[in-house]
Homo-oligomer: A and B are copies of this chain.
């Protein structure tokens, strides 16, 4: 596989999309990025359910799960090792203007990307988080959805360089919400808290998975409001997304942590194929 993504647009090999697509005109669509391990999409059914749920919240119609699965299988054939599968569903084509045809079919863009190698230490020793200046606006109508309006994440991610592996994002009231590409968790007194996503942020698939795994093991995962000043009190901090599983957080600003026992336990419980064995 070369460095160029291989993509299907509505089932046909393509490297372009129509200018009348509402994805390019307005960011009018949703997406999910999934891990592919040796030709299999990890947790595909549950990932697709989240994609469809997001599309449904925005009223994006005309998605055939069977057709989308066919697209995915066409691209998987040549995959070896780890890859990223990205699926974008837009609201399809329309004339100029915000009005859409409620009966229009979604456009589906399915792409495979190579994953670059990541040091094992990101999973064992953890990663360093930059505290971003760019804030997340609050809007209950859009929060939680992995939609294509991602300028806040773009601006935040580009505040820091490669000396940090992730950026911490706060909302406009300085409440901690997430990483730029991950959800975040704070461990204190044996319980795990992740920020409320009722008004900001993206609810990643891995958050659901961690919640399920924690529950099955008798661990409590709570949702709460966390101010930047409160994070110093955490005993362990970690971030998650579908491509990395769980990374312990080693530092945020001056504050430092080591990977703790609950982080290790969850890394084991989620059975993520990229997490190095015997960590």
Contacts and interface: CB of A to CB of B under 8 A. Distances in A.
A25 interface: yes
Contacts of A90: 24
A21 B7 CA distance: 13
Interface residues of A, number: 60
A109 B19 contact: yes
A154 to B, nearest CB: 5
Contacts of A102: 158
A139 B142 contact: no
A64 interface: no
A128 interface: no
A151 B157 contact: no
A239 to B, nearest CB: 15
Contacts of A25: 88, 148, 150
A105 to B, nearest CB: 16
Given A24-B24, A86-B96, A152 B158 contact: no
A58 interface: yes
Q: Can you tell how many copies of this chain the complex includes?
A: 2
A160 B138 CA distance: 24
A39 to B, nearest CB: 19
A98 B111 CA distance: 16
Given A19-B9, A84-B96, A139 B137 contact: yes
A26 B135 contact: no
Interface in A46-104: 58-59, 84, 86, 88, 90-91, 95-100, 102
Contacts of A19: 5, 7, 9, 14-17, 109, 111
A150 to B, nearest CB: 4
Interface in A153-175: 153-158, 172
A136 interface: yes
Given A26-B27, A158-B102, A97 B181 contact: yes
A223 interface: no
A154 B100 contact: yes
A158 B16 contact: no
A113 interface: yes
